[in-house]
Amino acid sequence: MITFTQQERIVLNTCKQILELKHSKFAQIVSDQIADLEQLASIVDRAPSPSVDLFEGSSERSADTLAQKLCAHGLDHIINLPSKAVLGHGFTVMKLHLFGLLVKLAKTEDALETMKSDVQKEYNDLLFTLMAEDLYTSLVSNQDIDELWVQEAAHELITMWDHRTSGYLETFALAIRELWHVRHAIVPVLGTLLGTMEIMRLNAMLPPVWLDFISNAIDSQAVICALEEFIFDLRYEELQLLRQKMTEDHITIIDRNTARLMLGKRDEDTADEMSPALDLYMSFMDRQQKAKQRAITDSEGPKRSLEEYFVIYLLSSDHHIPKDITFIS
């Protein structure tokens, strides 16, 4: 496994040289963390591949059989995870923290001003790697074992465990970034004659992959609700409460910031400064956790995050969007 990509290495070396020239105490800290990551990478490399049969033929083990096992038994307990998966995940998190340190330093050290965008890009890429791993893990379950996309998700997860990357990662990361950018650029409203899905379909800023996804999902109430959660950054339950308040107060149209204020939340414009990628990741984790709770309790609302539905779309050969959830409006 390569400890750092070529671009990561260039960014790290440049930042380290700048810090050394400025005689910053952080120069040694960055150097030490780089050395630690190189040692951890060698340990991850020595960990056996999850798809390799260590008993040399005494058991029929392959990527396919491992994928089937993952789908059948799930990944609820860490003891079921291969050591390479656990070590590799820790490696990615540790690397993320290193670039996170540089992100903070670039805001306070004038000499690193020119490296801000490069450091942020590498940090963002690592965040999307972790998000993709979370998504594949959440999609691998016995409940959907007969779906072709589950097997594909299992194979992609195994690839991430082995190589810390995925064949769909670049497409997924780029598409999610673009939608998050559109989310901030548009001004969605509740109560308009055009629903959220229709507004997104008519938006010229959307890339083709999202237009295709939305066109395929137009009849899925589950995806529509997940999209509303994504666009407004509010939970399904909050959106339902908001609609109730609008009816009671005879309000017909409301924008995103007013909606948050009506629910007692801070206006997004006054929220603490956070990078768009980290903002998206935190939103994703919150929405995914709530979706899991709904699935367990069989409550109203989307049982998956929008990102999960989108990855299913990418993994499916026929780009099929599940329509297995019925909602009460």
Residue 319 has pLDDT above 60, yes or no: no
In tens, the pLDDT along 159-176 reads 899 988 877 888 888 888
SS3 sequence of the chain: CCCCCHHHHHHHHHHHHHHHHCCCCHHHHHHHHHHHHHHHHHHHHHCCCCCCCCCCCCCCCCHHHHHHHHHHHCCCCHHHCCHHHHHHHHHHHHHHHHHHHHHHHHHHCHHHHHHHHHHHHHHHHHHHHHHHHHHHHHHCCHHHCCCHHHHHHHHHHHHHHHHCCCCCHHHHHHHHHHHHHHHHHCCCEECCCCCHHHHHHCCCCCCHHHHHHHHHHCCCHHHHHHHHHHHHCCCHHHHHHHHHHHHHCCCCCEEHHHHHHHCCCCCHHHCCCCCHHHHHHHHHHHHHHHHHHHHHHCCCCCCCCHHHHHHHHHHCCCCCCCCCCCCCC
Residue 258 has pLDDT above 60, yes or no: yes
Sequence ranges of the domains in the chain: 6-167, 170-315
Residue 53 has pLDDT above 70, yes or no: no
- Residue, of 175 and 122, whose pLDDT is higher: 122
Q: Taking Cα atoms as reference points, which of 228, 222, 229 lies closest to residue 313? A: 222
Report pLDDT for 21.
Answer: 95
Report pLDDT for 40.
Answer: 96
Q: Please write down the long-range contacts of 195-204, taking CB distance under 8 Å and 24 or more positions apart.
A: 195/224, 196/224, 196/227, 196/228, 196/231, 197/224, 197/227, 200/227, 200/231
Sequence-distant (6+) residues with CB within 8 A of 238 are 263
Tokens read off for 192: 């308009």
Pairing of strands 254-255, 189-190: antiparallel
In tens, the pLDDT along 259-269 reads 888 888 876 55
Report pLDDT for 100.
Answer: 96
pTM of the model: 0.84
Report pLDDT for 275.
Answer: 81
Report pLDDT for 168.
Answer: 81
- Residue, of 27 and 271, whose pLDDT is higher: 27
Q: Taking Cα atoms as reference points, which of 132, 139, 122 lies closest to residue 163? A: 132
Rounded to an integer, what is the distance from CA 4 to the centroid of its chain? 21
